[in-house]
Structure 1
């Protein structure tokens, strides 16, 4: 695996080595020892989640608070997404900044989203299957989020608002400034 640092501290791009031959392909999707050796970030994943979505679905920006904060390793098993994360760590030099990357089933690239980050993604192809490895269990009382079109964050999703498909809950999320200023 190859690890590449993003502009946001501890948020890294993970590119697994893919072995291809006439039968298809094989890759090691995660290796804790290799990941720690490359990043020195301790992680112990305890929950895996999958979502299937249609083109135009935007999920996020979500995060868990307090003792239920989660680090995630995210990837696309089928299709493609624009993946976005926002640094919410007040003591970080990149607090309030975001990073985006296209993840797809062809490159197999993954993104490690540390604890203390909001995360969301826009689905770019129908029937996209998105995978999340989480290092903490989901807790409904600890869930929170930031509205996708937050003026402070000014995220370019690359799609018109009329094309977006959002849950009612995601349409009601608060702004970054109401939570952190």
Structure 2
């Protein structure tokens, strides 16, 4: 498993090693120790979500109040999506920037999104199925969104007519969310993540599982 830092602090791309033979394939799509070694602390698994989307559907940009925020480990188990991470942390050196990673059922990559970052994706295929591991449960009143078509962000969604939910279509722009005091602050996010790292046990990756042990 290869974990690579993206250009936005707190965002990582994870590429698993796939073992294929005539029967199919086997891979470790999530390793808590490998991710913790890169991020600096384990992902507290509190909730797992699954969504299916038609081609052209855009979900996001979503984020949660920090603390505790909601870190996410995201992969596409069927079809393909373009996954997007947005730095919405006020005071961050990369505030207002975004980065996209293609996720699909061929390469089986995943993306880790730290607390305080915005996240969304666009479905590139019909019935694109995305699985999320989340560090905290859904908290009504503490979850927010930014309009995914906000010109200030300028996200290049690969859809001629992005299909949005009513909630996402009526979400504020980045500037409106900032003026309303909804956005997380970079220093608060850094402090929170720093505390998580200090409280971790310095986990190191173990040996990967040998697929031959599985029938």
TM-score, normalised with respect to structure 1: 0.94
Shift of 1:92: 2.2
Deviations 1:45-75 (A, max 9, x none): 2111000111111111111113341000000
| Residues 93-112 of structure 1 aligned to structure 2 (within 5 Å) | 93-112=93-112
Structure 2 gaps of 5+ residues are 180-215
Residue in structure 2 matched with residue 144 of structure 1 by the alignment? 144
The 8 Å contact of residues 47 and 136 in structure 1, kept in 2 or not, is answered as yes
Residue in structure 2 matched with residue 175 of structure 1 by the alignment? 173
Q: Which has the higher strand share?
A: 1
Residue in structure 2 matched with residue 28 of structure 1 by the alignment? 28
Shift of 1:167: 1.0
Residue in structure 1 matched with residue 90 of structure 2 by the alignment? 90
Residue in structure 2 matched with residue 165 of structure 1 by the alignment? 163
Equivalent-residue separation in structure 1 for 2:39 and 2:65 (angstroms): 24
The 8 Å contact of residues 68 and 138 in structure 1, kept in 2 or not, is answered as no
Deviations 1:125-151 (A, max 9, x none): 001110110001111211111001111
Confirm or deny that 1:127 pairs with 2:127.
yes
Residue in structure 2 matched with residue 44 of structure 1 by the alignment? 44
Question: Structure 1 residues 125-134 or 86-95, which shifts more?
Answer: 86-95
The 8 Å contact of residues 3 and 13 in structure 1, kept in 2 or not, is answered as yes
Report the secondary structure of 1:76's partner residue: strand
Structure 1 gaps of 5+ residues are none
Choose 1 or 2 for highest CA Rg.
2
Equivalent-residue separation in structure 2 for 1:33 and 1:120 (angstroms): 25
Residue in structure 2 matched with residue 155 of structure 1 by the alignment? 155
TM-score, normalised with respect to structure 2: 0.79
Q: Count residues with an aligned counterpart.
A: 179
Deviations 1:10-48 (A, max 9, x none): 200001111111111111121111211233243212111
The 8 Å contact of residues 68 and 137 in structure 1, kept in 2 or not, is answered as no
Residue in structure 2 matched with residue 4 of structure 1 by the alignment? 4
